[in-house]
Amino acid sequence: MAIERTFSIIKPDATARNLTGAINALIEQAGLRTEVDQTGNVIGTLLGASFGATAGANPGGTSLTPASRDTVMLSAHLDTVFPAGTDVKVQHDGDRWIAPGISDNSTGLAALIALARAFHAAQIKPQLNVLFVANVGEEGEGNLRGMRALIDAYGARLKAVIVLDGSSTDHVTTKALASRRMEAVITGPGGHSWSDFGMPNPINALVRGSVRFIATKVPAAPRTTYNLGQIEGGTSINSIPHEARLKVDIRSESESELTRLESALRDCISAGVRDEMEAARDRSKGKLEFKVELLGSRPGGELRPDSPLLAALRAADDYVGNQSRPERSSTDANIPLAQGIDAISIGAGGNGGGAHSLQEWYDPAGREIGLQRAFLTLVAMSGIAPTK
């Protein structure tokens, strides 16, 4: 089975370094000219029949020059949440394949390559240019930097962006969920657990602030969430730490709720530091300092209900007998949507679960529906040049 071979090559790796070369080669084998941009995105370009008709076009190279809406982009992110060195060997459990990153986003990458191969094998010449992109910076603290760079480079000429992320065919992401990622850092003089007892302790302060923050009420509608995702600090059990760090992910359907939670976090950390300083018996050896910083911010946005891209997806769904519901989430599509460029994020077919866990699984049954759906949507947007 071709996908099994693709998976054996596409090994998830947070650094994405191992992947870039492999993906580049696979896209090249599908007959495309490829380049890796400065951000690390792998870009395969299939020139459309109408390319060159516009003044300023550059038919000799893969770099497209500005023109109006003559390009469609299909993308799949190639980074994962897992640290380098994570064991990604696929385990089989009945119909399930288990490996970190297998659904999010090896399935998307495999589909990206499958669609490039389909164009090549069927010798389809699109009317518009099609970019097949394996991009970086979607997960963790990537802050969508891969997609941001792509939209900076191609934004003005993009007619549509189709993002392949994860498995399943039951949804189409048409609304971008806005989010903010914050980091609180508290520092202090540090000392010995016994002889310096009573000095202000950054971990105590962080805990005090965190307890305040998690008491913050969030509305069910507009849906708003927060997650204390990472906490670290200290050097040993018998040392008063000189540093404590906390990372928090905040998401909401409403920008104003995001802003409210962001300032709540700042206030709570500040109050936690104040509480700890007040409780400290010995303030002579220094005080606590803190900062709360924005690590990243994903903008919100929505696809117009009368968008040709949504119509194309719906037509593809009808054709393959699939039903999907529109939904809101935080994906690479946030960036084009926030800039008014038509974009959707869809699964690549099959089924999966346990995303971002070591038990992440994928079941390829029904995968062809996802591939056909993505292919038809892409072709509907790019058009096919008439054969001579």
Pick the closer one to Zn ion by CB: 70 or 165.
Answer: 165
Task: Supply the minimum distance, in Å, between the C-beta of residue 14 and Zn ion.
Answer: 13
Pick the closer one to Zn ion by CB: 13 or 165.
Answer: 165
Q: What angle do CA 360, 364, 370 make, to 5 degrees?
A: 110
Task: Supply the minimum distance, in Å, between the C-beta of residue 332 and Zn ion.
Answer: 8
Using Cβ positions, the residue closest to Zn ion within the complex turns out to be 104
Task: Supply the minimum distance, in Å, between the C-beta of residue 220 and Zn ion.
Answer: 26
Is 149 in contact with 39 (CB distance < 8 Å)? Answer: yes
Interaction between residue 20 and Zn ion (CB under 5 A): no
Task: Supply the minimum distance, in Å, between the C-beta of residue 166 and Zn ion.
Answer: 6
Pick the closer one to Zn ion by CB: 104 or 262.
Answer: 104
Closest CA to 341 of 155, 187, 195: 155
Pick the closer one to Zn ion by CB: 75 or 252.
Answer: 75
Question: Site map for Zn ion, 291-310, x if CB under 5 A?
Answer: --------------------
Stretch in the footprint of Zn ion (CB under 5 A) among 96-104, 221-229, 276-284, 370-378: 96-104
By CB under 5 A, what part of segment 185-204 binds Zn ion? Answer: none
By CB under 5 A, what part of segment 121-180 binds Zn ion? Answer: 165
d(CA 388, CA 379): 19
Is 128 in contact with 387 (CB distance < 8 Å)? Answer: no
Task: Supply the minimum distance, in Å, between the C-beta of residue 164 and Zn ion.
Answer: 9
39 to each of 63, 86, 144, 172, how far by Cα in Å?
Answer: 15, 23, 11, 27
DSSP state of 128: S
Q: Which of 70, 104, 317, 342 binds Zn ion (CB under 5 A)?
A: 104
What does residue 75 show for φ and ψ, rounded to 5 degrees?
-135, 155
Pick the closer one to Zn ion by CB: 13 or 104.
Answer: 104
Q: Could you tell me whether strands 289-298 and 178-187 are parallel, antiparallel, or unpaired per DSSP bridges?
A: antiparallel
Q: Which long-range contacts (CB under 8 A, 24 or more apart) does 15-22 make?
A: 15/84, 16/40, 16/78, 16/79, 16/136, 19/78, 19/109, 19/134, 20/78, 20/134
d(CA 77, CA 294): 23
Question: Site map for Zn ion, 327-356, x if CB under 5 A?
Answer: ------------------------------
Task: Supply the minimum distance, in Å, between the C-beta of residue 356 and Zn ion.
Answer: 9
d(CA 362, CA 351): 6
Q: Which of 24, 45, 103, 105 binds Zn ion (CB under 5 A)?
A: 105
Pick the closer one to Zn ion by CB: 105 or 252.
Answer: 105
Question: Site map for Zn ion, 50-69, x if CB under 5 A?
Answer: --------------------
Pick the closer one to Zn ion by CB: 105 or 377.
Answer: 105
Which is it for the CA torsion 155, 138, 264, 328, positive or negative?
Answer: positive
Task: Supply the minimum distance, in Å, between the C-beta of residue 295 and Zn ion.
Answer: 18
Task: Name every residue whose Cβ is closer than 8 Å to that of residue 323 and which is 6 or more positions away in sequence.
Answer: 170, 317
264 to each of 29, 35, 141, 218, 352, how far by Cα in Å?
Answer: 51, 44, 21, 11, 36
Task: Supply the minimum distance, in Å, between the C-beta of residue 3 and Zn ion.
Answer: 17
Binding site for Zn ion (CB under 5 A): 104-105, 165
